[in-house]
Amino acid sequence: MIVGIDLGTTNSLIAYFTEEGPKIIPNRLGKNLTPSVVSVDEEGNVYVGETARERKSLYPDSVAETFKRSMGTERDYVLGGKHFKPEELSSLVLRSLKEDAEHYLGEEVTEAVISVPAYFDDKRRKATKRAGELAGLKVERMISEPTAAAVAYGLYDKTQDTRFLVFDLGGGTFDVSVLELYHNILEVRAVAGDNYLGGEDFTEVMARLFLQKAKLQLQNLSEKEQVRLYRQAEKAKYDISDRQQVTMSFLHGEEQIEETIQYKEYEEACEELLQKIREPVKKSLADAKLKLGDIDEVLLIGGATRLSIVRDFLIRLFRKFPDTRMNPDETVALGAAVQAAMKERRAEVREVILTDVCSFTLGTEVVVEYEEGRFEDGRFCPIIERNTVIPASHTERLYTVRDNQDKVRVRVLQGESRFARNNLYLGELEIDIPKGPKGQEAVDVTYTYDINSLLEVEVTVVSTGQKQKLIIKGQENQMTEEEIAKRMEELAYLKIQPRDFEENRLVLLRAERMYEEALGDRRKKLDRYITAFEAALKRGGHDEIEAAREELNEILEEED
């Protein structure tokens, strides 16, 4: 079975295709959203999702989150005394989703279509595929999040031509894509975005506002207090969406501090973030050679688009109300499931031709003459520019710059900087050329890029016709099967917790967290119910445990 997965910065989801259409698969707690949070304790026990997130309040050093922002980097996370790369933490989230799907469907899940931000570069896409492989999934196809959203919205069933902009603001990444539908072709016209902008930044602003009003310094708070502060700020940023002000309550030492934040204050404090949102919107429209008035529909995806501050800004920006028919948290996963059905060639899905664009410019390093007889090396020469519709093939003719030069080296780069050193290195090849005066010999460098992110680089010596080729697979896994097996073996010490005990672990962690935050009679009351639940767990009767858990949950809902 092939499933569709939205591996998100804040939350992840898994979906499959049914006769009635795509459907989200609930996790072991019966919820659609699985927080992209991982915790590992000193004994090697792994906690994923909501349980891991609750552990953060009690054991902040043992928890990692928002690691999607670091995909494709060498960032090192230390949990439970062990070291993890971002893709390894992502693989633990994917493994949890895979187990939930297999339990729900009653069959093995072997393959997945995973969505990635449209603005993810080559390294980040490779890291995402590695995460899937480490989780035991075959990942032959990825789909950009905005394209997945467009498919999920049912635009592939529309009969009229439509131009639309997909605005994707998740927990940690931001994408804007301009797409056009005509007949059964869904074409991406342009993409832009920011891999370091998302809902977490709006939480950060709320936390800073509170600290400012309370005259507190973040560095003077303990780790646990910082976790509590951001938990309250996360809640407040959504609560303020429904009213004109919000009151944040925070326990600092033995003192309960309350501060009221006005919507206008919050909006002003977020102005810099809103301006950062505006730039990719302008850039994507400019690259697509369109104006705001040319857009027929604006689609919102990503949990942060629920925020009133974001929606109000978008209504002012686009001068129209966005389409909010679907749950913004679930749209991408549903679209990935439709793509999985297309890959399986399911009869229920009318085949749609999905075209895409290069998210980043592809080019090579060259030497340029900036004055008569004076040269500067290390400059970037674009060959296929960003937002070129793919498949595409472009050729650039390059000449020798030294007398008796006998070789040309072509370094394949991806990025937008004028300087080669600032762009992403993908590979290189070298070809022999006949010696001669500078500028006499030339090579034609041809880049051919296709829908599967496969880049073919061909260098032809103009005078001799000699050719050299290099193929770079944008989504290929840099790890061999042996290396994957070895790393999976190295991670085998991790003890994945039995799914049947998840609800009990979660309620206990939540109760412990609330006990630490409480004072006086409230703390005594919580202690009484926690003790009763722990006693039921020791006795081990299924019905008794369930009843005690339900009772404790009711108390926690009242007190939280």
Q: Would you please indicate which residues are annotated as catalytic (active-site) residues?
A: 6, 68, 145, 168
Cα separation, 505 vs 525, whole angstroms: 20
Strand partners, 46: 40, 496
Closest to 6 (Cα-Cα) out of 493, 331, 284: 331
**Contact predicate 136/95, CB 8 Å:** yes
- C-alpha 235 chain-centroid distance: 22
CA angle in degrees (0–180, nearest 5) for 407-408-414: 155
Strand order across the beta sheet in which 495-496 lies: 63-65, 37-40, 45-48, 495-496
Residue type, 450: D
Provide DSSP, 263-326: HHHHHHHTHHHHHHHHHHHHHHHHHTT--GGG-SEEEEESGGGGSHHHHHHHHHHHSSPPB--S
Q: Which helix (H) or strand (E) holds 111?
A: strand 111-116
Strands, E, within 117-218: which ranges? 138-144, 162-169, 174-182, 185-194
Cα separation, 500 vs 119, whole angstroms: 38
**Contact predicate 214/250, CB 8 Å:** yes
Cα separation, 538 vs 468, whole angstroms: 70
Is 332 buried (19+), middle (13-18) or exposed (0-12) by CB count in 10 A? buried
26 secondary structure, DSSP code = P
Structure tokens at 183: 């007949």
